[in-house]
Each structure stands twice: as structure tokens, then as C-alpha cells.
A and B are shown apart, each in its own frame.
Chain A
């Protein structure tokens, strides 16, 4: 089945650091990727929709200058948490689906981000 790779799986860093998370579709092309955030014991909340070759679409309440998204190719989207603070600590997970398809979204394994 379709595979989505997310890297890194775990990050611990100091407050003020910027952290980049990569999401790759390994065996299919994804014009659209999605970035979610999940707090402990809660559901996934969509942060933004990443579109290849164009600007990302952010959900209400998500700061686009804080969470920079770059979808440079059909297989790679990156999320950069800029000047991270402890309140940004969370589980970030990306997903991708094949273009123009009813196929399900396939998720990366997620990134646990801890800001000290």
C-alpha cells in the first residue's frame, strides 16, 4: 500500500529554535498533503492543506507565519515551526493522498515535538 514517510519522529529542542518536519510520499504523487496537530488524548485537528506549487491553505486560528509550509514537489511537503515555544509542544502528523482519487489519506508516523 501507499507509504508516507515523516521525519523526524521525535524532536526535543530549546525554546526559540525553529524545527522542520518533512513529509514524503514514497510511492505515489501527492498534489495535496495535510498537516494535523494532536494534543494528548484528543483528536487530530487540521492545521493546513499543503498544495504543490502554490500557497498552503491554513485553518482558522493557525498562524501561517508561525507554521511555514512548503510543498516543493509532488512527493515532499515540509512544516517549519518557527521560533518554537513550549506551547507548540505537540504531536504533528502529516497525510497525503493520490491525486484526484477516492483513495484514503495515508499518514506519516507523526513527529513528537517537545520544546523545553
Chain B
């Protein structure tokens, strides 16, 4: 079974509008971390936002916010006021276990976001 599921292979959004990228996860661990990364066509992976399983508040970083619904095991990324430069692949990832563990990242298949002018 997939640990991280991103059901949207591709998304279009109009410039200046908000967009939500879906991510659901599957784990039996009580402690885990959820991450979103952006990968432009140049290939580098850019860290966007982090949500710990014990964090009660939804994480926010500038125009990025994470809609964390623990009971539903979802961690959707919301990008507000989309910009042309937001066009990229977006990956949701999970790290199981405590911070002190090695805990490699498990990635979803990604969502390709295209921002239209």
C-alpha cells in the first residue's frame, strides 16, 4: 500500500488565485513528520513547509499553508495568490518515527502545478 498518495497528477490555477494540492498518508506511527517540497524543471528540491504529527496548529510559511487533518490522515498544501513562478512539481513526503531516528523521507508521486497568466 502506498504510504503517501497524491491523487492529482496535474493541476491548473489562474495567477493570483489560491490552489490546494492534496496529500493523504498512511502510517501506524504516532510520531511522524509531513513535508512539502517543490521541484522546478531545473531539478532541485526546495523545502516549503513542515508539519509534525503533534503540532496542533496548521503550519504556515508565507504563501504556503498546510491543512493538516490528522483524523483523515491528510496534509494538503494550500498556495495562496499563485504566481507564475509557482509552476513546478510538488511532492508531499512523510518521515516516520522520532526526530532522532534516521527516518528517511517517503515521497508521493507528485502533482504538476501550472499557473496560467
How far, in Å, is B6 (CB) from chain A's closest CB?
Answer: 9
On whether the beta carbons of A101 and B105 are closer than 8 Å, the reply is no
- In whole angstroms, how far apart are the Cα atoms of A51 and B106 in the complex? 18
Residue B117 interfacial (CB < 8 Å): no
Which B residues, 42 to 99, have Cβ-Cβ distances below 8 Å to chain A? 42-47, 50, 52, 91, 95, 99
User: Are A105 and B105 in touch, CB under 8 angstroms?
Assistant: yes
Note all chain B residues with C-beta closer than 8 A to A112. 43
Residue in chain B with minimal CB distance to A32: B102
Q: Are A107 and B52 in contact (CB under 8 A)?
A: no
| Alpha-carbon distance A112/B43, docked complex (angstroms) | 9
Q: A102-B33, A102-B52 known; A43 and B44 CB under 8 Å?
A: no
Give the Cβ gap from A24 to chain B, nearest Cβ, in Å.
15
Q: How many residues of B contact A (CB 8 A)?
A: 23
Alpha-carbon distance between A106 and B91 when the two chains are bound, in angstroms: 14
As a 0/1 sequence over residues 18 to 48 of chain B, the CB contacts with chain A under 8 angstroms (1 = contact) are 0000000000000001010100001111110
A107 contacts B44, CB within 8 Å?
yes
Please tell me which one of the listed residues B33, B35, B52, B105 contacts residue A34 in the complex, with CB atoms under 8 A apart.
Answer: B105
Residue ranges of B at the interface with A (Cβ–Cβ < 8 Å): 33, 35, 37, 42-47, 50, 52, 91, 95, 99-100, 102, 104-110
10 contacts between A and B (CB under 8 A): A34-B104, A43-B107, A44-B91, A46-B106, A101-B99, A102-B52, A105-B105, A110-B43, A110-B44, A112-B43
With A102-B33, A109-B43, A112-B43 known, 4 other A-B pairs at CB within 8 A are A43-B107, A49-B102, A93-B45, A105-B47
